[in-house]
Structure 1
Amino acid sequence: MLMGLSCTTRRRALHVCCLVCILAIALRSSTAFASASPANASVSPAVEVGFELVTYTSVVKLEHALTGYRLYSMEVPYGSGSQQQAVTAFPHGRDDHTLWRVKEAHHVVDAASSAGGAMADALPWRAVRCQDTIRLEHARTRKNLHSHLMSSPLSGQQEVSAFAHDVDGRGDSGDNWVVECVDTQATHWDRGSAIRLRHVDTSSSSSSSGSTYLTTAMQYAYAHPIDGHLEVSAVKVRNNRAVASNEALSWRATEGFFRAAEK
């Protein structure tokens, strides 16, 4: 679906129907390459001592705090809007469609490249700090969680896609997200604690204009044959009080593949 959005109800319905058709797939199981918690557990798994923090190069499954759905993508483009790779939320996490690698911000890669440095992660295994700007690379397709000023197919909010210019996962500044720790006393991204992901390019420095956050919601569910998938979008929130009280903006990385952090 998700190719060019129309304002009319008829065209929006047609685009949604296209997306539903092309996203119909069977989930496939994958092999873990490090210690991981059970997929689709009904309670948060215990966190191993020494592995409490999310680090750069960790591979995580992001679970939405309000719905329990996991951030999901696959090699299928939207049929409207950007026509980039679709991103949804899905309740099961048994396959590699829900795995995302934590990377440094896009501008960090550019700086390393300009200085003649390697294009690999500049900050391997360092713990992610609250307010760090990061990218999330989809492990299966090597495309980055991305947003821009296009309408999402169901809610009409801001489209979220997976994007890269090439097979090496190199995208642009639309891939940058700020990690906001819900616990205002926290200094680092703790696996058991909620965070918000604020989109850099489409958030304003003016508090009156608001900031844009990754979200999903049960009322924006795709129909058969991909029932169970929810739309993932970015929503503009106008003030800090509204952000702090909105659990629909919160995500957790309780599952994944981790290493002891270097602060």
Structure 2
Amino acid sequence: MRTSLPRVTALVVLAASATSVIGSIFGGSAPQTNAEALEKGWEYVTTGSTIKLAHVKTDTRLTMPQVSYGTGSQQQAVTAQGDASLTKALWRVEPLDAEERGAPVACGSRLQLINSDSDHRLHSHAAHRSPLSGNQEVSAFDGRDDGDVWTLECLKAEKLWRRETPVYLRHVDTGKYLASIPSKKYRQPISGHQEVSAGKKPDANAQWMALEGYYFSRRSPVPQ
């Protein structure tokens, strides 16, 4: 029997080389811009790394709770949840442009985020509304199409995706931004999970940062 969301009417990880991973960080520390404290050579999110994305405004993690939407696409739901230890909150970073494993991901890159627990891709589509906010629905999709592609937009004058620093993820196909609104929370069967949707604006609800995870590095020079 499939578990689904009800219809809503109202409502520092280090790696020894580019081919090996040493460990991971799991914990509940609040998101903070602390990239300056990271060891040199490990400051950036890199191709092939498997990370947890923290919603900056609420200290929740992007996750796939393994329930499907009761409306819209009826694909797997994506939420923001407060338990940073969940393995379902790990996403593999795969830039679409050919890059060797361990290469820092450049700002402006087109990429896919693949859930490591299920191999579903972070997905969105203009045809369906999210059940709580009415924004564009965000789901986890077990196929592949243009709805799986996101553009990394960095803040300030960054050239590379710096860990523990806020970024935006813009959906290539529709131009909407990955977001979570703190007041939009589900009841059963995933009580307390925040809805994740795609909104029009790159505002505070759309800021995410890479925190816990498994990181690769090739120990190469980076732009100054």
TM-score band, normalised by shorter chain: 0.7 to 0.9
Question: Which of 91, 103, 126 in structure 2 is aligned with 1:126?
Answer: 103
Q: Deviations over 1:180-207 (max 9, x none)?
A: 0012x1110000211100000012xxxx
Q: In the alignment, what sits opposite 2:142?
A: 164
TM-score normalised by L of structure 2:
0.83
Matches within 5 A, 1:1-263: 1=4, 12-13=8-9, 34-42=22-30, 44=32, 47-105=38-96, 123-149=100-126, 150-165=128-143, 171-183=144-156, 185-203=157-175, 212-237=176-201, 243=202, 246-261=203-218, 262=220
Matches of 2:51 and 2:28, distance apart in 1? 14
Pairwise CA RMSD: 2.2
Q: Kindly tell me: are residues 141 and 38 of structure 1, through their superposed partners in 2, closer, same or farther at Cα, counting changes over 3 Å?
A: closer
* CA spacing shift, 1:41–1:159, aligned 2, 3 Å: same
1:47-94 superposed Cα distances (whole Å, 9 cap, x missing partner): 333211001100000001111111000332212111111100001111
Q: How far did residue 229 of structure 1 move?
A: 0.3
1:117 aligned residue: none
Aligned 8 A contact 2:31 2:59 in 1: no
Deviation at 1:38, TM superposition (A): 3.4
Aligned CA distance change for structure 1 residues 124 and 164 (closer, same or farther; 3 Å) = same
Q: How many correspondences in the alignment?
A: 204
> Given the two structures, how large is their TM-score scaled by the length of structure 1?
0.71
The offset of 1:12, in angstroms, is 2.9
Structure 2: runs of 5 or more not aligned:
12-20
Return structure 1 stretches of 4+ with deviation > 6 angstroms: none
Whole-Å separation in 1 of the counterparts to 2:114 and 2:57: 23
Q: Structure 1 CA distance, aligned partners of 2:208 and 2:145?
A: 23
Residues 123 and 176 of structure 1, relative CA distance in 2, 3 Å threshold: farther
Q: Which moved more, 1:189-198 or 1:68-77?
A: 68-77
Q: 8 Å contact 1:144–1:163 — kept in the other structure?
A: yes
Task: Tell me by how many angstroms 1:127 deviates.
Answer: 0.8
Which protein is bigger by CA-based radius of gyration?
1
Contact 2:164 2:209 in 1 (8 A): yes
Say which SS state the counterpart of residue 74 (structure 1) adopts.
coil
